[in-house]
A and B are shown apart, each in its own frame.
Chain A
Amino acid sequence: MIKNSANLLILGLLLLLGNSACAPKVKNGYTKERGFEGNISLSGAFALYPLAVLWSEDFKKEHPHVRFNISAGGAGKGIADALTGMVDIGLVSRDLHPEEMKNGAFPIHVAKDAVICTINANNPNFTLLKERGLTKDELKNIFIHNKYKTWKEIDSRFTNDPIIVYIRADAAGAAETWANFFKSKQEDLKGIGIFGDPGIAQAVKDDKNAIGFNNINYVYDLKTKKVASKIDVLPIDLNQNGKITEDENFYRTINELTAAIGNSTYPSPPARDLTFVTKGKPDNLLINEFIHFVLKKKSQSYLLENGYVPLNDLLIEKESNKL
């Protein structure tokens, strides 16, 4: 009995400690007779997760002996997991911090997307807002300084309704990128914090005086290519001439917008790189093969129909040469 309970105690302690252990990695890569085989594990940003799943399915068609293990949990988790060796590749949707680079983070950009400013389609100043847009400084005053209480304070032609600012509550690549547009950090954004991208889209749809920001996928309907109901994009007045000219007006369909992001007409940030992060330069044949596969034309061609922006040839070349 004593022996039994001692065993139980050991078992119990093992269970407690077992959480920190991780699955053994196959030291793998490539054999002549079986081709590529082994495991690739990825974790990280919600923005990249659906893409990673798509790419892994395709890769498996070509290399049936490869197994994938993909989880979402935020960009920071992806970096932390990649740096501690829990996963092979971290998925990241924001710029890396210097601390992370110091710890050996090795970024490879695989796609682009953008964060856009959103308003309610029934905003009392909708037509005028669409005509004149808002400049970067006006947006900064709204999101960082909370300078305006009402729309009228921005421009005397607007109505006297209050401005309700919505931001992300959860630490997110999208919020970090939007804050970067104003040379700030996510914690400097001031407003009502809502959890998650769908959450903030819903809040903007429900409140006619709302202003917020979203990933493209949550604003446009991927089937009709137009904006979803009750929500619309607030154009940014890039040349600050007080009106939205034809070259600034690329928000009508998702295709126009992704083209504008692709040729950098839409500024970056709020456009951003979506990145694979590994710990140091990857030396494993299989991981290298997968990253090369993702950078191929065919894999990049999915991106547009899913609301992401593919890398242009120059960038593909540049990223491939990193390996």
Chain B
Amino acid sequence: MKQLTFVLLLISLSVVIIIGIGLTFKSVPLFESFNIWNLLTDKVWSPMKGKFGFLPFIAGTLSVTLVALVIAIPLCILTSIYLTEYGSKTLKNTILPLINVLAAIPPVLYGVWGVLFIVPAIQSYIAPIFAVSTSGYTILAGGIVLAVMIFPIMISIMVEVLKTVPTELKSASLSLGATKWETIQQVILRKAKPGLIAAIVLAISRAFGETVAVLMVCGNVPKIPTSIFDAGYPIPALIANNFGEMMSIPLYDSALMFSALLLFVIIFGFNLISRIILNKLEGKHNG
């Protein structure tokens, strides 16, 4: 039995490695014609003219994710604090299952909801406040849809994390004369910090690779966005939009594979770094 489980483990690990190798192998034709640094810093995407600049897509991915996080993180932390510290048991027992249901909604529905509600709202209400005229298909729309998509995963993990803070710590802080809010700020959040960061990292990994919901609302213009009211073009959208149509043009195919590899490496590296940070934090807290 021991060997069997070991073999299964090897198989599942090798899948990841095979994906990495396969993507690299497929990207080679592009590396032969261009150097990587130029690919990553070029601003012009025009495959038929032999210009493969990936910077607009990298910028698009980062900006949509950033907007989503700016919206989601404060809301999720406050929500989970309310649910664990202030909310009644009944409230918690109704809200949490509901949030888990939200997590199961397929992305394409979020995309449709974005097209039907968020995009027109930005076009006719939000953008005029800032005196901008836009179609509504923007980085902001992508960010909002993405934020709503990562709410459930963030909140449910954060609630679990906050539950693990020992009651003794809270009681000690309260008995020293700290108010409830001071206790939350100084004791609970501090103690739960590594867990909260882990929740955020998980949510980012999910946000980075989200394809359909974002490509339906973000505008898909391959230019570097200068404001949240510009259209953007994330990497997953690039792959989804062009894969079916362009496989017959060799270098284009290779460029799409390279963008897949890019996504793979970014997420892999990101998770690695966050893992290291988390290990350090945990060591500091428990040591």
> Is the Cβ of A8 less than 8 Å from the Cβ of B242?
no
A17 CB to nearest chain B CB (Å) = 10
With an 8 A cutoff between CB atoms, is B47 at the interface? yes
Stretch binding the partner chain, chosen from B87-95, B177-185, B212-220, B274-282: B212-220
User: A280 in the interface, Cβ–Cβ < 8 Å?
Assistant: no
Most chain-B Cβ atoms within 10 A of its Cβ — which of A5, A73, A169, A187?
A169
Interface contact A5-B4, CB-CB below 8 Å: yes
Q: In the complex, are the beta carbons of B215 and A169 less than 8 A apart?
A: yes
* CB–CB B242/A170 < 8 A: yes
B107 at interface, CB cutoff 8 A: no
Contacts of B115 in A (CB 8 A): 199, 202
15 chain-A/chain-B pairs, Cβ below 8 angstroms: A1-B4, A9-B11, A74-B244, A76-B249, A80-B247, A99-B250, A170-B242, A172-B245, A187-B49, A191-B221, A193-B220, A193-B233, A195-B241, A203-B135, A206-B120
Docked pose: A190 CA to B3 CA in angstroms: 58
**Is there an interface contact between A100 and B248, defined as CB atoms closer than 8 Å?**
yes
Query: Which A residues fall within an 8 A CB radius of B?
Result: 1-2, 4-5, 8-9, 12, 16, 73-77, 79-80, 83, 97, 99-100, 103, 162, 164, 166, 169-173, 185, 187-188, 190-195, 199, 202-203, 206-207, 210
Task: Report the bound CA distance from A173 to B244 in whole Å.
Answer: 11
- Chain B residues in 8 Å Cβ range of A4: 4
Interface residues of B in 232-275 (CB under 8 A from A): 233, 237, 240-250
Q: Are B8 and A8 in contact (CB under 8 A)?
A: yes
Say if the beta carbon of B98 comes within 8 Å of chain A. Answer: no
Query: Do residues B135 and A192 form an inter-chain contact, with CB atoms below 8 A?
Result: yes
Contact of B237 among A5, A73, A169, A192 (CB under 8 A): A169
Asked if B110 is at the interface of the complex by the 8 Å CB criterion, the answer is: no
A190–B231 CA distance with the chains assembled, in angstroms: 12
**By the criterion CB–CB under 8 Å, are B18 and A16 in contact?**
yes
Closest chain A residue to B216, Cβ basis: A195
Are B4 and A8 closer than 8 Å at their CB atoms?
yes
| Interfacial chain B residues near A199, Cβ < 8 Å | 115, 216
How near does chain B come to A234, taking the closest CB pair, in angstroms? Answer: 18
Residues of A within 8 A of B10 (CB): 9
Residues of A within 8 Å of B38, CB to CB, are none
B169 at interface (Cβ–Cβ under 8 A)?
Answer: no
**1/0 per residue B6-24: CB within 8 Å of A?**
1110110001001000000
Instruction: Tell me whether A192 and B137 are in contact in the complex, defined as CB-CB below 8 angstroms, given that A169-B215, A172-B245 are known contacts.
Output: yes
Report the separation of the CA atoms of residues A207 and B219 in the bound assembly, to the nearest whole angstrom: 14
- Confirm or deny: B101 has a beta carbon within 8 angstroms of a beta carbon on chain A: no
Contacts of B247 in A (CB 8 A): 76-77, 79-80
Chain A residues with CB under 8 A of B49: 187
B133 interface residue (CB < 8 Å to A): yes
Interface range for B: 35 or more
Could you give, for residues 131-161 of chain B, a 1 whenever the CB lies within 8 Å of some chain A CB and a 0 otherwise?
0010111000000000000000000000000
The answer for the CA separation of A203 and B114 in the assembled complex, in Å, is 12
Q: Report A83 CB to chain B, min CB distance, Å.
A: 7
B113 within 8 A of A: no
Q: Could you tell me if B249 and A97 are in contact, using CB atoms closer than 8 angstroms?
A: yes
Closest to A90 in B: B248
Flag if A170 contacts B133 (CB, 8 Å). Answer: no
A170 touching B3 in the complex, CB below 8 Å, given contacts A9-B11, A193-B219 = no
Instruction: Give B1's nearest chain A residue, CB to CB.
Output: A1
Known: A1-B4, A193-B221. 15 other contacts (CB 8 A): A5-B3, A9-B7, A16-B15, A77-B245, A79-B248, A83-B248, A99-B249, A103-B248, A170-B245, A188-B46, A190-B221, A193-B219, A193-B233, A195-B216, A202-B115
CA distance A73 to B115 in the complex (A): 23
Min CB–CB distance B116 → chain A (angstroms): 9
A192:B248 contact, CB within 8 angstroms: no
Per-residue 0/1 for B193-220: is the Cβ within 8 Å of any A Cβ (1 yes, 0 no)? 0000000000000000000000110011
Also in contact, A74 and B216, with CB within 8 A (given A2-B3, A192-B137): no
- In the assembled complex, which residues on chain B have CB atoms less than 8 Å from the CB atom of A162? 133
- In the assembled complex, B123 has its CB within 8 A of some CB on chain A: yes
Checking B7, B8, B136, B244 against A73 with a beta-carbon cut-off of 8 angstroms, the contacting residue is B244
Contacts of A195 in B (CB 8 A): 215-216, 220, 241
Q: What residues on B are CB-neighbors of A164 within 8 Å?
A: 135
Pair A194/B137 contact, Cβ less than 8 Å: yes
Chain B residues near A79: list those with CB within 8 A: 247-248
Quick check: A192 and B219 within 8 Å, CB to CB?
Answer: yes
Query: Max chain A CB contacts within 10 Å: which of B1, B46, B219, B246?
Result: B246
Query: Are A76 and B48 touching (Cβ within 8 A)?
Result: no
User: How many Å lie between the Cα of A191 and that of B223 in the bound state?
Assistant: 11
A46 CB to nearest chain B CB (Å): 9
| Neighbouring A residues of B237 by C-beta, 8 Å | 169
Q: Which of A5, A77, A172 has the most CB of B within 10 A?
A: A5
**CB-CB under 8 A for A171 and B135, given A1-B4, A193-B219:** no
Chain B residues positioned under 8 Å from A169 (CB to CB): 215, 220, 237, 241
Which one of A16, A75, A193, A206 has the highest number of Cβ atoms from chain B below 10 Å of its Cβ? Answer: A193
Task: Report the Cα distance A12→B11, complex, angstroms.
Answer: 7
List A contacts of B249 (CB < 8 A): 76, 97, 99
A16-B18, A171-B246 are known contacts. Are A207 and B7 too (CB-CB below 8 A)? no
